[in-house]
């Protein structure tokens, strides 16, 4: 992929959006793991915990990028990423199982382990958006990680206040997933030679995923309102 091409910068922007939208969980984990430490040590836990977590994530993403050359893994990864895009909209996330560390070392370890366990969605999404370009993976993390570390609290507040940000994030994930599905080697040539079918497929999959999440959320809201009204 040409470094100065529109395709490169579009892919880079996609990766940064993915990193930021899926970073809400990681920001919460960082806050919960370090909450019992003195303020000075909290900063150290955030910095070193994030460094360790990012290092693991870079290695995992690069491995997944290589694995995507294996037959049918684009299909499997695309389907899994569609599910992640849907869950981003409808899942009520609880982090009550994240224990705060009483020492700096415990907090750093908690951050790294929890991030590694939760980061599979980010790894698959970034690997799919990078299309095998290692530079994109690294650049995306370099740009988004400082925002996650120092702007995580603000970003979480923005997401909680402006719900449409999550819908945009889900649409980006679904878009990336749809493109992953079209890159499966078994039938990739069909989409390469038929751009109309390619873009129709990508747009339909993206819209359907976001619409499904919206309908489920609306159904939940109605159920909650009926439950409150009947009390």
Question: What secondary structure letter does DSSP report for 102?
Answer: S
Look-up of token digits 């070392």: 105
pLDDT digits (tens, 9 = 90+) for 160-209: 677 788 888 889 889 988 988 998 888 999 999 999 999 999 999 999 99
Strands (E), 66-224: none
Q: Is the pLDDT of residue 1 over 70?
A: no
pLDDT digits (tens, 9 = 90+) for 56-100: 877 887 788 777 778 888 888 889 889 888 887 886 655 555 556
Look-up of token digits 């040539």: 189
Q: What is the pLDDT of residue 196?
A: 94
Conformational region of residue 132, where left means phi above 0, alpha means psi within -120 to 50, and beta covers everything else: left
> N- to C-terminal Cα distance for the chain?
59
Residue 216: HSE in the Cβ half-sphere, 13 Å Cα cutoff: 14
pLDDT band at 211 (very low <50, low <70, confident <90, very high): very high
Distance CA 204, CA 182 (A): 13
Q: Whole-prediction pTM value? A: 0.74
Q: Hey, what are 63's tokens?
A: 């491995």
Distance CA 164, CA 176 (A): 18
Distance CA 145, CA 51 (A): 9
Give, in degrees to the nearest 5, the angle at Cα 151 between 125 and 134: 35
DSSP per residue over 22-67, as a string?
Answer: THHHHHHHHHHHHTTS-HHHHHHHHHHHHHHHHHHHHHHHHHHHHH
Look-up of token digits 């609306």: 218
Distance CA 197, CA 77 (A): 21
C-alpha distances in Å from residue 203, one per residue of 25, 61, 174, 183, 200: 27, 26, 9, 15, 5
pLDDT band at 146 (very low <50, low <70, confident <90, very high): low
- For residues 93 and 126, the model is more confident at 126
Look-up of token digits 């339909």: 204
Distance CA 121, CA 126 (A): 9
CA–chain centroid gap for 78, Å, is 13
- List the one residue out of 161, 172, 220, 186 whose CA is nearest residue 75: 186
């Amino acid at each position: 992929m040409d470094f100065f091409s529109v395709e490169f910068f579009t892919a880079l922007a996609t990766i940064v959006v993915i990193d930021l939208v899926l970073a809400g969980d990681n920001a919460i984990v960082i806050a919960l793991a370090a909450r019992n430490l003195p303020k000075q040590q909290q900063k150290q836990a955030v910095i070193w915990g994030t460094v360790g977590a990012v290092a693991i994530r870079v290695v995992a993403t690069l491995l997944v990028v290589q694995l995507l050359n294996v037959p049918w893994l684009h299909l499997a990864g695309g389907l899994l990423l569609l599910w992640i895009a849907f869950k981003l909209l409808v899942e009520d996330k609880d982090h009550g199982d994240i224990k705060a560390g009483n020492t700096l070392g415990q907090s750093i370890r908690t951050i790294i382990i929890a991030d590694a366990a939760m980061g599979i969605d980010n790894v698959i999404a970034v690997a799919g958006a990078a299309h095998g370009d290692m530079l994109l993976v690294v650049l995306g993390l370099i740009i988004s990680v400082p925002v996650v570390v120092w702007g995580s609290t603000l970003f979480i507040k923005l997401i909680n206040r402006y719900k449409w940000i999550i819908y945009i994030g889900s649409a980006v994930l679904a878009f990336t997933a749809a493109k992953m599905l079209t890159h499966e080697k078994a039938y990739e040539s069909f989409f390469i030679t038929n751009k109309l079918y390619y873009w129709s497929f990508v747009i339909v999959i993206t819209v359907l995923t976001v619409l499904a999440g919206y309908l489920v959320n609306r159904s939940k809201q109605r159920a909650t309102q009926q439950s409150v009204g009947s009390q």
